[in-house]
Structure 1
Amino acid sequence: MTGYREIIDGNGRLYRLGETDRQLMGRSRRWMVFLPWAAMMAISSSEYAFTSAEDTLSEAHGWHGAHIFWLLGVWVFFQAAIAFPTGKLRESGRLSAKAAMMCGAAGTIIGYLALAYAPHVLVAYLGFSVFGGLGAGMVYATCVNMVGKWYPERKGGKTGFVNGGFAYGSVPFIFIFTNYMDVGNYGPVLVGVGIFLAVAVAATGFFFKDPPKNWWPAHVDPLKVADDPKVRRSLSKNPPAVKQYTPREAARTPVLYLMWVCLLMTAGVNIFGIAFQVPFGKEMGFAGGIVALAMSLKAIVNGTGRGVIGWISDRYGRRQTLTIVCWVLGLAQFAVFLSGSLGNMPLFLLASMISGFGGGAIFPLFAAMTADFFGENNNASNYGMVYSSKLVSGLVGSGLGAVVVGVWGYGGAFVLAGCIGLFTGALSFMLKQPGRSGSGPDVDAVPMTRATVG
């Protein structure tokens, strides 16, 4: 058995030290960054590339245009709904990371088969929105929380990198669905894409492995982080949770609900942009290739922005970074509408990229912030509670967004989305770590208890 020791700091938090990543799983913990990243890329097309297939699916199946937006909205609902149950099953040991990923692979292929061959739109809702959404949600919840467990001392940048795959992995499929797929070949194209993505999810998930509870990297002493300037800077700006909160304990803190509301509003704005940028661009007279390029750039910046913003938040603080991101997201909605109304293609592309940056950055920030506030041991469940706000934001951003566009037009809808983003930025000032009275971590505390385990 691998030897380790347990340290309890001045706040009562326990750390398990002494075991290296190679001792625990036979390889570097970097594998638990790149494998989840690849899996996240594989599931991203269902959300970010879906509306690029809108015209073909509507024409081929005879579905009314509103069904396209509601199919996406319901997919997002189930993708978010499964996060908390997946976390609870994972943390209880009843569902391994590998098993969760295999379920995700099955949901992926079922979703694409439903889009290709559904005899009725209700079958598409069941296959794509329900089973496809549940599968993607299990992959998402497993991947995002996996990396935080293996990098508890610098989780922002790594979480952002993995989370970024959920956006830019869709780029080739945006072009395929926009420029290649048509009513004559949509069935084989969708089935081929589904098989390829399902195999990618299963292959990466086969190698997933969790670290032990309370694990901390052997080369970083949590009580002497001053010896490592990079780690000290990260922990001084984002102090570790004062203890490992259970979901029940986290649910008793007001900040959990405030995080839920903030993610609800920002995710709603992000999903609104994903769902309506393509039809808005087409209505403003931009060619299909330009609209596809704008959506691709949005997805690329959305994904890369997640990694960059995670690194920035490690250096300058999660909450401070979140405030700026919310304001950028809000202002970008005004810019998208203005540039489209003026027919200014370069400005439309730029505004689309900025909107993608802001919309993507919120998710790794909240994922890392949840671990900062409530600890890593139960982060899958705790983040599942925060992420459950996407249950509502998906329906609001896509389905209800269609209603708002129908009543107020694109102008009213984009202005409303922009105002929501700005308001959320102001609301984020109220996010404070529970249980900590000071502004920084008690990094130099003397351990209360030390135990050696053989």
Structure 2
Amino acid sequence: MTAEPLAERGASGRADAPHRYREITDARGRVYRVGESDREILGRPRWTMVVLPWVAMIAISVFEYAYGAAEDTLSAAHHWTSSNTFWVLSVWIFFQAGVSFPAGKLREKGVLTSRAAMVTGAVLSLLGFVSLSHAPNVAAAMAGFGLLGGVGSGLIYSTCVNMVGKWYPERRGGKTGFVNGGFAYGAVPFIFLFSYGFDTSNYRVVLDLVGLYVLAVTLVAGLFFKDPPKNWWPAHVDPLRHGAAGRTAVALAKNPPATAQFTPGEALRTGVVPLMWVCMLCCAGVSIFGISFQVPFAKEMGFGPMIAASSMGVMSVINGTGRGVVGWLSDRLGRRPTLTYVCLALSVAQFGVLWAGEIRNQPLFLVFAFLSGFAGGAFYPLFAALVPDYFGENNNASNYGMVYSAKLVSGLFGGGVGAMVVHSWGYVGAYTTAGAVSLLAAALSLLLRQPGAPTARAQTGTAGLSSPPGAS
């Protein structure tokens, strides 16, 4: 169904509107602000708001994706057990994910600008690495690296991911996936650094320098951040008739715009947010488990440090590039079906890594590490694009924050609880459980539906009717 405009008003004469634009309303009451180009708002093309978040995501990827490679040295240097070391990572994951929703609310209320969020995140990220290098005990590391570093990197992560969807509302899958990918493959140099050039004699210097690197990159990138106005839509794409050609037309057909701009309360009441939350909980828990334990598992299987580091390096590269590829595919296949395929691939990868390790087959181990890395990151940009697809862009920072908060719980399962499961059941029990949880996520993804979207019968028999926010 193509909605006809119900209202249109000019805004070029208003004192608070420096650029010419108009607001048009579709049959369901959703408002689109059209007429302003990206250059008028930013002073530069909008693709810069893909590149700058991507660079910042590359910088903060070292927090999570290189941590497993540093675990042995950290444990030896601080005299921690392996479980203690991974609990530090679990605390980091808790705050990295947990800050997304409150930060989103502050951004949408105008209390916290995207630029301020990036600057604050940059400083806290530095403090996180300095705390990890100089922590006198586990509690101090949890407070410094876990809490401060988690909040800092979480501010940067959520700001970067939400920024892209706002600037590319008509074709967000590939762009979101590209930016999200930097959060994985940006850690590759540090995986090898922590595997070969990181020991108890230099760990403090190395970690302090890594913190300064993260500060410099994220601070410079963040100073150029700017959100588009509420309801902004690119002038060359008709939001009512989807009057676009080529890739944009396909993307809008497979992933139509949200029927309304849902507030967090309205989005929660649809029942779709809780379903997304549980699905992400399963996927993220399995992904974090793989990130945390693939290198230790490879070493226990006797593959040696080169294969162990290479498997994690491959996993991080494919984890990142896979996010961009899957985002691009979701623009063509549809976000929800693509998510189901990714969950199934994640399950196969868990059983495959276990099998290859058990039979001591190094090439096969790398193949399944490849698949694990691909699927273990691909679901993140899919959820990041699904949320504004379903609930609109205006409150996306808060709405996505609710869904992404699942990671704060999954971090406990994938890291700390994962260590306990490995200790109690061994790697066979742990990887088997991870594979089963991924299958559950695939089943849950089949239930996702865009709130307020007309059914096939309504599209053919009752065209023009609309559904209010909160209808499912």
Q: Give the TM-score category using the shorter length.
A: over 0.9
Separation in 1 of the partners of 2:161 and 2:458?
Answer: 24
Alignment partner of 1:24 out of 41, 49, 58: 41
Matched, 1:430 2:447: yes
User: What is the SS of the residue equivalent to 2:342?
Assistant: helix
* Equivalent-residue separation in structure 1 for 2:456 and 2:262 (angstroms): 20
Residues 319-340 of structure 1: CA deviation (Å, up to 9, x unaligned):
0000000000011000000101
SS at match of 1:178: helix
Deviation of the 1:275 alpha carbon: 0.7
Tell me if 1:272 matches 2:319: no
Alignment partners' CA distance in 1, 2:85 and 2:111:
36
Q: How many residues align?
A: 445
SS in 1 for 2:229: coil
- Kindly, what percent of the aligned residue pairs are identical? 58
In the TM superposition, 1:220-231 aligns within 5 A as 220-231=237-248
Q: In 2, Cα distance between the equivalents of 1:372 and 1:221? A: 16
- Opposite residue 363 of structure 1, the aligned amino acid is Y
Deviations 1:37-85 (A, max 9, x none): 0001111111000111111111111111111111111110000110001
Deviations 1:8-33 (A, max 9, x none): 11221110000000000100000000
Please report how far the alpha carbon of residue 165 of structure 1 lies from its aligned counterpart in structure 2 after TM superposition.
0.6
Tell me the secondary structure at the aligned position of residue 278 of structure 1.
Answer: helix
| Per-residue deviation, 1:193 | 1.0
Q: Where do 1:124-135 residues align within 5 Å? A: 124-135=141-152
**1:197 corresponds to:** 214
Distance 1:65 1:243 in 2: 48
Letter in 2 for 1:381: S
* 1:24-423 superposed matches below 5 A: 24-423=41-440
| Aligned equivalents of 1:259, 1:315: Cα separation in 2 | 21
Describe the shift of the 1:398–1:357 C-alpha distance in structure 2 as closer, same or farther (beyond 3 A).
Answer: same
Instruction: Note the C-alpha offset of 1:441.
Output: 12
Distance in 2 between residues matched to 1:55 and 1:428, nearest whole Å: 37
The one-letter amino acid of 1:299's match is S
User: How big is the shift at 1:229?
Assistant: 3.3
Question: Helix, strand or coil: the match of 2:112?
Answer: coil
Cα distance, 1:439 vs structure 2: 5.2
Give me the whole-angstrom Cα distance separating, in 2, the residues matched to 1:164 and 1:373: 22
Deviation at 1:396, TM superposition (A): 0.5
Question: Match for 1:351: what amino acid?
Answer: F
> 2-side partners of 1:177 and 1:276: how far apart?
15
Q: Check 1:180–1:312 CA distance in 2 against 1; reply closer, same or farther (3 A cut).
A: same
1:440 shift after superposition: 11
For 1:11, which of 15, 28, 35 is the aligned residue?
A: 28
The 10-residue stretch of structure 1 (121-130 or 207-216) with the greater mean CA deviation from structure 2: 121-130
Deviations 1:401-437 (A, max 9, x none): 1111111110011011001111211221100000112
Amino acid at match of 1:100: A
Conservation of the 8 A alpha-carbon contact between 2:127 and 2:148: yes
Distance 1:182 1:141 in 2: 32
* Residue in structure 2 matched with residue 452 of structure 1 by the alignment: none
Contact 1:235/1:441 (<8 A) preserved: no
Q: Per-residue CA shift, 1:374-401, capped at 9, x if unaligned?
A: 0000000000000011111000111111
Give the distance between the partners of 2:244 and 2:42, measured in 1 at CA.
Answer: 27
Offset at residue 34 of structure 1 (A): 0.4
Equivalent residue of 2:23, what SS?
strand
Greater alpha carbon shift after TM alignment, 326-335 vs 51-60: 51-60
Which residue number in structure 1 is paired with residue 3 of structure 2?
A: none
Q: RMSD between aligned alpha carbons?
A: 1.5
Q: What is the CA–CA distance in structure 2 between the aligned matches of 1:409 and 1:55, rounded to whole Å?
A: 19
1:333–1:25 distance in 2 versus 1, CA, 3 Å: same
Gap runs ≥5 in structure 1: 449-454
| SS at structure 1 position matched to 2:199 | coil
TM-score, normalised relative to structure 1: 0.96
Question: In the alignment, residue 346 of structure 1 is paired with which amino acid?
Answer: P
Inter-partner Cα distance in structure 1 for 2:76 and 2:428: 27
Structure 2, unmatched stretches of 5+, are 1-17, 467-472
- Higher relative contact order at CA 8 Å, sep ≥6: structure 1 or structure 2? 1
> What is the CA distance between 1:225 and its match in structure 2?
2.1
Counterparts of 1:419 and 1:276, CA distance in 2: 17
